[in-house]
């Protein structure tokens, strides 16, 4: 195979499925918040692999840990004991959630969510309805995104995600996000869990309200439901707190039963996890919730491999040691304040949580412009492409929000560099007829 390292750009269309709408950029290498394409053009990368590079690119400690582990042992399988899983789970329990519990390791966010869905189903069998039949309904919310596997896709309350793939997995009940009255009405005797993102990422950086979180909490207590949090995007410091929900209601008032993570955890190396609270199944019941998924109930070949755990430990070590959640909370507020001070009419709202910042655009004003209308693009994609051309990578989130997901170790000078591009391009877009 002497052609194995040959390359022609046309092969991407010829040999790779067309399921992604890709921007015309071929990333070649990165360093910190910077990315270079195959032609040597430099970008400030505030897409960060969609929030999966919390330390930027090629972080020496992460790269070093991965290289060292690759030379030692990449994979051994879950038939054997795992030092890396034990270490990483301890960090997640003691340093991130700070509530007793246990973790499972997967390869992705969708898979972490699948585990939580299985936990809920098992709980509904173990703690059934009054007549002994299982509880299985899981309430999820409009605007959510939980992943592309069948369970996670079915949990995602968006027709555009599961349309065309029916029948989807039964048992998901969709309710409008942040509508506490609708949520109360959605609970039935079959309900077993409430599942949501504390800050919805893909649909536009939309936070749960404190009232919503408190209502979920009281419904869970009242009806013996599990509170399942999808922190795949908003967890592990991304929102300026090691736990996304605590950036909305600080402290221990909100008591999730299970939390999923992925994106940030391995600095881009595929890794996901979910945590389950260590509590009794019910008053006077000896069994623990965190032990409900016993031997043989769940598993994965690759999840939590020695290599993945090395990436995860190195990443969380830097986030915790350098207090990046704390520093990015401060910088996130500064960035939001600076953009607000421009009074740029194309920006109609700013939702800033650490290094997860949503800029809501005036969609109608953008689509009224001849050049944008003629492009046929949705507003957020048009704006993201204009930023890309100017050297700043941002991520569309729904039709009218662009997201900044910079590395959590971003400096003020790097933020200023991005702000200059952002301001210039927004100015140019506003000046269009």
CA dist., res. 382 & res. 401, Å (int) = 11
> Using the rule CB under 6 A, is 114 a contact of ligand PLP?
no
Residue 201 and residue 397 in contact, taking contact as beta carbons nearer than 8 Å: yes
CB of 322 to ligand PLP, least distance (A): 24
What 3-state class would DSSP assign to 173? strand
Residue 93 phi, psi (nearest 5): -70, -50
Report how far apart, in Å, the C-alpha atoms of 297 and of each of 116, 261, 328, 348 are: 12, 20, 39, 48
**Is residue 268 close enough to count as binding ligand PLP by CB under 6 A?**
no
Q: Does 140 bind ligand PLP (CB under 6 A)?
A: no
Closest approach of ligand PLP to the CB of residue 207, in Å: 13
Copy the structure tokens of residue 19: 């399921």
Q: Could you say which of 151, 198, 201, 240 contacts ligand PLP (CB under 6 A)?
A: 201
Taking the least distance from each CB to ligand PLP, the nearer of 121 and 146 is: 146
DSSP 142: B
Q: How far is CA 428 from CA 360, 368, 399, 417, in A?
A: 17, 15, 20, 17
Q: Which of 123, 141, 145, 359 binds ligand PLP (CB under 6 A)?
A: 145
Span of 82-90, 194-202, 239-247, 391-399 interacting with ligand PLP by CB under 6 A? 194-202
Q: To the nearest 5 percent, what fractions of the chain are helix, strand and coil?
A: 40, 20, 40
Pick from 45, 114, 137, 197 the residue near ligand PLP by CB under 6 A.
Answer: 197
- Using CB under 6 A, pick the residue from 57, 146, 238, 277 that binds ligand PLP: 146
Give the dihedral sign, CA 86/87/89/90: positive
The nearer residue to ligand PLP, 273 or 344, going by C-beta atoms, is 273
With beta carbons less than 8 A apart as the criterion, state whether 301 and 142 touch: no
**Looking at 55-63, 132-140, 142-150, 298-306, which segment touches ligand PLP (CB under 6 A)?**
142-150
Q: Segment near ligand PLP (CB under 6 A), from 92-100, 145-153, 307-315, 411-419? A: 145-153
Contact 259, 99 (CB under 8 A): no
| CA distances for 60 relative to 16, 45, 51, 53, 310, angstroms | 32, 18, 19, 13, 13
Select from 20-28, 141-149, 169-177, 251-259 the region that touches ligand PLP (CB under 6 A): 141-149
User: Which of 30, 54, 84, 109: binder of ligand PLP (CB under 6 A)?
Assistant: 109
| Cβ-proximal residue to ligand PLP, closest one | 109
CA distances to 22, 32, 99, 148, 209 from 254, in Å: 39, 35, 12, 28, 12
Q: Which of 85/273 has CB closer to ligand PLP?
A: 273
Number of residues that bind ligand PLP (CB under 6 A): 15
Is residue 30 a contact point for ligand PLP (CB under 6 A)?
A: no
| Contacts with 120 (C-beta within 8 Å, 6 or more apart), sequence order | 136, 138, 192, 193, 195, 226, 228
Residue closer to ligand PLP by CB (options 335, 356) is 356
Per-residue x/- mask for ligand PLP, residues 147 to 166, rule CB under 6 A? Answer: x-------------------
User: Based on CB atoms, which residue is closest to ligand PLP, 191 or 273?
Assistant: 273
Other Cβ atoms less than 10 A from the Cβ of 145: the count is 24
Q: At its nearest, how many Å lie between ligand PLP and the CB of residue 403?
A: 11
Ranges within 204-263 binding ligand PLP (CB under 6 A):
230, 232-233, 262-263
Closest CB to ligand PLP among 263 and 277?
263
Q: How far apart are CA 118 and CA 121, in angstroms?
A: 5
CB of 144 to ligand PLP, least distance (A): 8
Cα separation, 260 vs 251, whole angstroms:
19
267 part of the interface to ligand PLP, by CB under 6 A: no
Using the rule CB under 6 A, is 401 a contact of ligand PLP? no
Residues that bind ligand PLP (CB under 6 A): 108-110, 113, 145-147, 197, 201-202, 230, 232-233, 262-263
């Amino acid at each position: 195979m002497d052609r194995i390292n040959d390359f022609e750009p046309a092969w991407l269309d010829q040999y790779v499925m067309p399921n992604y709408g890709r921007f015309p950029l071929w990333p070649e290498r990165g360093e910190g918040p910077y990315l270079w394409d195959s032609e040597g053009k430099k970008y400030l990368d505030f897409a960060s692999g969609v929030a999966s590079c919390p330390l930027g690119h090629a972080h020496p400690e992460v790269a070093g840990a991965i290289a060292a582990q690759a030379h030692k042992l990449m994979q051994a399988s879950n038939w054997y004991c795992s030092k890396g899983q034990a270490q990483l789970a301890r960090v997640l329990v003691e340093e991130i959630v700070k509530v007793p519990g246990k973790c499972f390791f997967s390869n992705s966010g969708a898979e972490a969510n699948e585990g939580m869905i299985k936990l809920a189903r098992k709980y509904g069998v173990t703690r059934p309805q009054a007549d002994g039949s299982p509880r299985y309904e899981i309430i999820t919310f409009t605007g959510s995104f939980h992943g592309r596997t069948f369970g996670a896709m079915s949990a995602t309350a968006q027709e555009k995600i599961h349309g065309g793939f029916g029948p989807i997995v039964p048992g998901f009940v969709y309710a409008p996000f942040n509508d506490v009255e609708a949520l109360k009405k959605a609970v039935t005797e079959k309900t077993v869990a409430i599942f949501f993102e504390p800050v919805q990422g893909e649909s536009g950086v939309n936070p749960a309200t404190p009232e919503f979180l408190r209502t979920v909490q009281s419904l869970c207590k009242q009806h013996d439901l599990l509170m399942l949090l999808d922190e795949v995007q908003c967890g592990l410091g991304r929102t300026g707190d090691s736990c996304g929900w605590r950036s909305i209601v600080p402290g221990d008032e909100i008591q999730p039963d299970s939390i999923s993570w992925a994106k940030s955890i391995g600095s881009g190396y595929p890794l996901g996890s979910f945590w389950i609270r260590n509590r009794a199944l019910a008053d006077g019941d000896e069994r623990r919730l965190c032990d409900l998924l016993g031997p043989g109930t769940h598993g994965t070949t690759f999840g939590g491999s020695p290599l993945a755990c090395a990436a995860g430990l190195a990443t969380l070590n830097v986030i915790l040691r350098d207090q990046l959640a704390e520093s990015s909370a401060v910088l996130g507020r500064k960035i939001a304040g600076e953009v607000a001070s421009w009074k740029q009419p194309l920006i109609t709202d700013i939702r800033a949580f650490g290094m997860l910042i949503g800029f809501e655009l005036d969609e109608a004003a953008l689509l009224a412009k001849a050049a944008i209308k003629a492009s046929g693009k949705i507003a957020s994609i048009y704006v993201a492409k204009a930023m890309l051309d100017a050297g700043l990578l941002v991520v569309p989130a729904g039709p009218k929000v662009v997201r900044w997901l910079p590395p959590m170790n971003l400096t003020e000078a790097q933020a200023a560099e991005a702000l200059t591009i952002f301001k210039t391009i927004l100015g140019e877009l506003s000046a269009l007829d």
